[in-house]
Structure 1
Amino acid sequence: MEIVTEAGAYRPGYFEHLRTPDLSTGTYSIPAGGTDEQSPHTEDEIYVVTAGRARFRTPDRTVDVAAGTVIFVPAHEPHRFVDITEDLVTLVFFGPAEDTRKPAPVSEQP
């Protein structure tokens, strides 16, 4: 067992708390009026909104989010938080761990 400390505490940006090969989790926070600059991920992802208010946008849907909202985003789906009206705090879970499916960089040939 491991206790994850400071999970869900507001701290601008993304802070990873735990990583195993099959799962990673962190806290993602965006200030009111801020911009979500993230790109699609190579892993499935779950957001649990613990504080704040915003809208969540994918190519097919936009929904209001607040504390208690749980969102599943499949790998590679474009998504972002928009219209952030209150400091937003989310717990984020990646399965498998974030960036484990990302292709390895191609090394330059001499």
Structure 2
Amino acid sequence: MARKDFDPDTVQPDGRPPARAVLFDPAKPGAWRGSVPGEALDGPVTVLAYGNDTPGEGPRLHVHPYDETFVVVAGRARFFVGDEVIEAGVGEVVLGPKGVPHRFENLGPGRLQTIDIHHSPRWIQTDLD
């Protein structure tokens, strides 16, 4: 399906060059495998890679002053976002709205791997537990 959502002649490049950064080393152990701040790419979002092999394990409850989008790329997760509980699997996306405390855990079996997109050029977080 061809898309034409806007007229390319109406958008002018802002002069930024393409950029590249390493998000994670696949051989590195541990749950937090890496992050790339948007500032490093001169972009508006920060990208994190998270993964663990232990059901019930995940990041602690925390909050951000911006939205966070989670993409599940392996396994299943249970997200706690404010008063809501959302289960998500491979290929699904969950939004954590700004100012709303959230956390998630591996539902198992096996590895949970997420790509977490922080809608900010810097990772800013306050842990609540």
* Residue 46 of structure 2 is aligned to residue 29 of structure 1: no
In structure 2, the residue matched to 1:39 is 62
Aligned length: 101
Which structure shows the bigger proportion of residues in helix conformation?
2
Aligned CA distance change for structure 1 residues 23 and 83 (closer, same or farther; 3 Å)? closer
- Could you state the TM-score of these two structures normalised by the residue count of structure 1? 0.72
- Could you state the TM-score of these two structures normalised by the residue count of structure 2? 0.63
Which consecutive unaligned segments of at least 5 residues does structure 1 have? 103-110
Q: CA deviation at 1:6?
A: 5.0
Q: CA deviation at 1:54?
A: 2.0
Larger Rg: 1 or 2? 2
Counterpart of 1:32 in structure 2: which amino acid?
A: T
In structure 2, the residue matched to 1:76 is 99
Kindly report the root-mean-square deviation, in angstroms, between the aligned alpha carbons of the 2 structures.
2.7
Aligned CA distance change for structure 1 residues 93 and 14 (closer, same or farther; 3 Å)? same
- Which shows bigger deviation, 37-46 or 61-70? 37-46
* Residue 38 of structure 2 is aligned to residue 19 of structure 1: yes
Aligned CA distance change for structure 1 residues 6 and 23 (closer, same or farther; 3 Å)? closer
Q: Which runs of 4+ in 1 moved over 6 A?
A: none
Q: Secondary structure at the match of 1:96?
A: coil
Which structure shows the bigger proportion of residues in strand conformation?
1
